[in-house]
Amino acid sequence: MVVDPRLSINQATIKYADLATALRVTQDAGVQAIGVWREPVHEVGLDVAARMLTDSGLRFTTHCRSGFFTMPEGPARRASIDDNRVAIEEAATLAAAGAPGSTAVLVLVAGGLVDGSRDLIGARERVREAIGELVPDAAAAGVQLAIEPLHPMYASDRCVVSTLGQALDIAADFDAATVGVTVDTFHIWWDRDVLASIARAGAEGRIATYQVCDWKTPLAADVLLSRHYPGDGVIDFASLTRAVEATGYDRDIEVEIFKEEIWATEPLEAVRRTAAGFAAAVSPHLLESRS
């Protein structure tokens, strides 16, 4: 099987693999890049994780994930900001440890409404303020923060930023090298403005990472776990991928799938199936390749 040279496996796709396993199966499948989650990095420690990444020869594409700063001022907010600063340092270290072509990107998920609150507008403003606090750290570390809009079904409990347009409006207050956006097909495919928003994101230099997975109904009982291999659902990867490519985006492209059935698959097999889905559904729409 030909593996697309721009494919990156987001570690969440093989959630139950530890970092060593994730790196090994990604290599073994012939994939050249990986997006990493914080928890498996913490399990081995950052320095060890960085060395393992270097030894793997893989490119590092994103560090997932941080954010969760919709709460009002107080100890919980301070703890979140501090933890985000740690995540920025982690992203910088891992990107430096990855193969040439790695990107120092930290994915940010805004967080939901705090308990008892109905104030979406206020929560969104606190997201903007938190990013403003983190920008100097990210700039100093050479890390691009990637605000990720999540599907509106997560607006109350996970992410008050629901569209790419919203994410871009928050990012607009900051330098594009430091604050970008995550373009994840699963979250934004339904948006009437999605192609225009992708074009805008590209024109503003803010596409930090392009992530692909598919949407299919019925949704899983836990709607967090409703993602599918590219091509198994209804998302039009042709129009979305071409729109991203048309902006000049030339970074790796992650597949990030949360799904019990895929997590129950042997990790190397899951990576191979991911690569096959990507090759069939996404690769034909890429303008250029690293190969």
Query: Which residues of the chain form contacts with its own copies (CB under 8 A)?
Result: 113, 117-120, 124, 151-153, 155-157, 162-163, 165-166, 189-192, 215-219, 221-223, 233-236
Smaller CB separation from its own copies, 1 or 118: 118
**What's the longest Cα–Cα distance across the chain?**
53
Smaller CB separation from its own copies, 136 or 152: 152
Smaller CB separation from its own copies, 35 or 230: 230
Burial class (CB in 10 A: 0-12, 13-18, 19+), 47: exposed
Minimum CB distance to its own copies, residue 279 (Å): 18
Smaller CB separation from its own copies, 158 or 206: 158
Tokens representing residue 250 in the block: 């030339």
Give CA 270 to chain center in angstroms: 19
Minimum CB distance to its own copies, residue 117 (Å): 8
Burial class (CB in 10 A: 0-12, 13-18, 19+), 75: exposed
Smaller CB separation from its own copies, 151 or 272: 151
DSSP 191-216: -TTHHHHHHHHHHTT-EEEEEE-EE-
Phi, psi of 253 (to 5 degrees): -125, 120
Minimum CB distance to its own copies, residue 156 (Å): 5
Minimum CB distance to its own copies, residue 112 (Å): 8
Minimum CB distance to its own copies, residue 165 (Å): 8
